[in-house]
Structure 1
């Protein structure tokens, strides 16, 4: 099994860098014999125009360039960490001008070439000692700041859904890439006495497996979030039943196809958004993606209702929300899932009796679509007490009308509760206002196991075919096997990998 490689974020604009620094420096204790503390070393950060190469771009195509707001870095923190996992030096960098693509003339996209060298004084580090190097992009840090002595505690906690504030425009959190192809802990620098001037910069070395070392290596970083794009629906009419569908399902699909004039995507939502994520991507045995313990979900499954009632746990339109940013999730019990809401328009000429409601409400009873209780009673005229003793088309319609009313008063239950009770009591599907729902677990097709999404990846869902009217509520279960109700393609598209050379002196 080969785990999907991750991409480095697109850090494009390299010219005209401007920095104001605020140091947070810790003196080293327990000096080693024969090693002298220098009065100060110098660090040079050189940012070069990025190039798409290495890791995931060589495995999965096509890649996709980040938008300008996804690529921009205004602030960041550089960390030097000693062998005892103590942060011996950290520098908060502000007013950075790394940005995304620059729009040129005639719609072209350009990049600014060049580099900016600036001086950071690193006091009191030990000459001859090696320090690991990390870069955290963005203005937000873990609660309590970084703690390399207990790396499992280095996690981000979202303050609201969609990984906020770690996926805000121009302020995406990014950290050292750490996967099968890149060792996030493999960057290091060793200062020598000759590095006490900026004419002789110390170089960052990279070691992947403890043996091979790359000198003057670029530090590769990646976003800590994944991106889930708004869905695309390629179908407005129901498709023919698949050949391997059951006989009963084919009958139900044939009925729906004959009666549905069109079906249109109106809203969508994403559930089970993890509230925590490790700063550095963390892997366990068998390349199992690890998720921090003790976190909750924003927009959990329960926020969208139960088997019979509807709740708006976060529905939006594709126009209002084109991109969603989420933390990693690999749960089998609460996988990150997309809900689709469709509006069904029926063919009036396919029904002998006028519809009970003018707002598009219809029913499905024993896999057959109806718009009136009168027609249901006509089709089951030989059945006694179809919906209970004393029930007829008139009383059923009146009871549903009452359930659909928007009423006030402390003793009156809300519409969805009353509709839920009606559905359960009479074992009939009621598609209020003609709305139907489908859902699809979002997973990474390349990570090696089900129900997992990982950072720095784009997940794009395309609805290819709709075979039948779906569930009456988001968490409802269609009468027949819902495997054939919706055909969805999940495309996993990595953001483009880019490199930025970071030299320390």
Structure 2
């Protein structure tokens, strides 16, 4: 088979990346004076990286520029695939020099790099059409790339998050594939006229010369934004009378409520290299597992794993469409009660348990003496022989042991907010395709309103059947599709 040279050239533009190759034979052909002589074909490949003016930028969708670390491409792999879905040619490209967006507003500039590659090509023939793919980053799928079938191309992470696919200047990216762009739609056809550097073959999309739009394989979940520090005087829509009483009680007793930390649960451990759809539904690889599952946070009474609440300002995750394991954000808040409520409180010492309070029958208390006073006409309120003093002592002995504390909560049907901490949770939903986390999108949750104190533990529920706490969230999505989600905490 005759060996051929492939030219991969660089397009110098604000949103494009390219590669250029020289012929290894600089002698002049007597029959084509002025042209470099070559044994093979040349082609021009242009890759458009996912900036705000790049992929997933349909009308009326908010967008956000990527950072230089998120946008830079320093290496990648070019694939040419024949009509039998066999890889006719692929080449790893390194030493690329494109740093993405620099500056802000109208002063944004690009550092466009150009590098020359000498590429030996086999199995590429004149007159044949080849599909063209580009994978940015050096991350490899679990098995060798195989376009027959394409569903074998899977990225897998052993991390809780998809961190290894989102390293600075080395984000995994692949052909955009959604309702706007067909990832399989880029083609190149070689003719005999493409055997010289002056006339390279070009990549087409829908009968027009086009750059290949690529997108980041990961989604981005930002730290939540908190815009509320007090329990609202207003009620959520359709609030019951019991809920209104509970909200009024919290409003009267809470001085402030502060966001302390957050966690993200139900993170998919794998993703297709190219986004895959089935009947307009996002598809995930078979046997997708989930890390940091919601159930790992504990039960209705038990706080199992506090390590989850150590999140960074930005997290990168694989996309998720699971209804059983939806990607969910947990919020940890610190509730500070008014000074008058803390007089003679059971936990007032200067330690981690300072500020501990209870909620019994939807009313907030800071001491068992207060509870027994309100229920003085009830015999054996917490059991025969139980007094305010014995209940306080029993809780003091259990409060630093999560298993014992969980049993205390369950046995006495009382909510114990250790150290004044309370928790809310919210399923993260894409604004544009409901119920999923989609790649190349930013998910940013904003807490607008807090209607009531939350749960005593991340997976907790109020002791009454009514849901007496809520979270009102606004999500924005940016392509980065920005997903802002406003939250009302109830």
Structure 1 length-normalised TM: 0.83
Does residue 440 of structure 1 match 2:440? no
CA distance in 2, matches of 1:50, 1:302: 35
Taking the TM superposition and a 5 Å limit, the aligned residue runs for 1:469-484 are 469-478=453-462, 479=464, 481-482=466-467
Greater mean deviation of Cα atoms: 175-184 or 342-351: 342-351
Structure 1 runs (4+) greater than 6 angstroms displaced:
13-20, 47-51
Residues 1:351 and 1:166: Cα distance change in structure 2 (over 3 Å): closer
Greater mean deviation of Cα atoms: 429-438 or 92-101: 92-101
CA distance in 2, matches of 1:99, 1:174: 15
Among 413, 433, 452, the alignment partner of 1:427 is 413
Taking the TM superposition and a 5 Å limit, the aligned residue runs for 1:313-462 are 314-316=307-309, 321-350=312-341, 353-358=344-349, 359-405=354-400, 415-447=401-433, 449=434, 451-462=435-446
Report SS of the residue matched to 2:390: helix
Does residue 311 of structure 1 match 2:321? no
Residues 1:250 and 1:50: Cα distance change in structure 2 (over 3 Å): closer
Deviation at 1:109, TM superposition (A): 3.1
Q: Is contact 2:51–2:66 with CA below 8 Å preserved after alignment? A: no
- Equivalence for 1:251: 245
Greater mean deviation of Cα atoms: 302-311 or 421-430: 302-311
Residues 209-265 of structure 1: per-residue CA shift (max 9 Å, x gap): xxxx21x21111111111111001111111114163110000011111111011000
Greater mean deviation of Cα atoms: 95-104 or 262-271: 95-104
Q: Is contact 2:50–2:216 with CA below 8 Å preserved after alignment? A: no
Q: Is contact 1:48–1:115 with CA below 8 Å preserved after alignment? A: no
Q: Is contact 2:49–2:214 with CA below 8 Å preserved after alignment? A: no
- Equivalence for 1:151: 150
Cα RMSD for the two superposed structures: 2.7
CA distance in 2, matches of 1:129, 1:402: 78
Among 269, 276, 292, the alignment partner of 2:270 is 276
Q: Is contact 1:261–1:347 with CA below 8 Å preserved after alignment? A: yes
Deviation at 1:398, TM superposition (A): 0.7
CA distance in 2, matches of 1:14, 1:206: 16
Q: Is contact 2:96–2:115 with CA below 8 Å preserved after alignment? A: no
CA distance in 2, matches of 1:495, 1:327: 14
Q: Is contact 2:95–2:115 with CA below 8 Å preserved after alignment? A: no
CA distance in 2, matches of 1:305, 1:19: 57
Residues 1:314 and 1:176: Cα distance change in structure 2 (over 3 Å): farther
Q: Which has the higher strand share?
A: 2
- Equivalence for 1:65: 65
Q: Is contact 1:70–1:169 with CA below 8 Å preserved after alignment? A: yes
Higher relative contact order (CA 8 A, sep 6+): 1
Residues 1:176 and 1:228: Cα distance change in structure 2 (over 3 Å): same
Deviation at 1:70, TM superposition (A): 0.4
Any stretches of 5+ residues in structure 1 without a counterpart? 1-10, 21-37, 208-212, 406-414, 498-505
Deviation at 1:133, TM superposition (A): 0.4
Deviation at 1:51, TM superposition (A): 8.4
Structure 2 length-normalised TM: 0.85
Residues 4-24 of structure 1: per-residue CA shift (max 9 Å, x gap): xxxxxxx9576997999xxxx
CA distance in 2, matches of 1:128, 1:384: 93
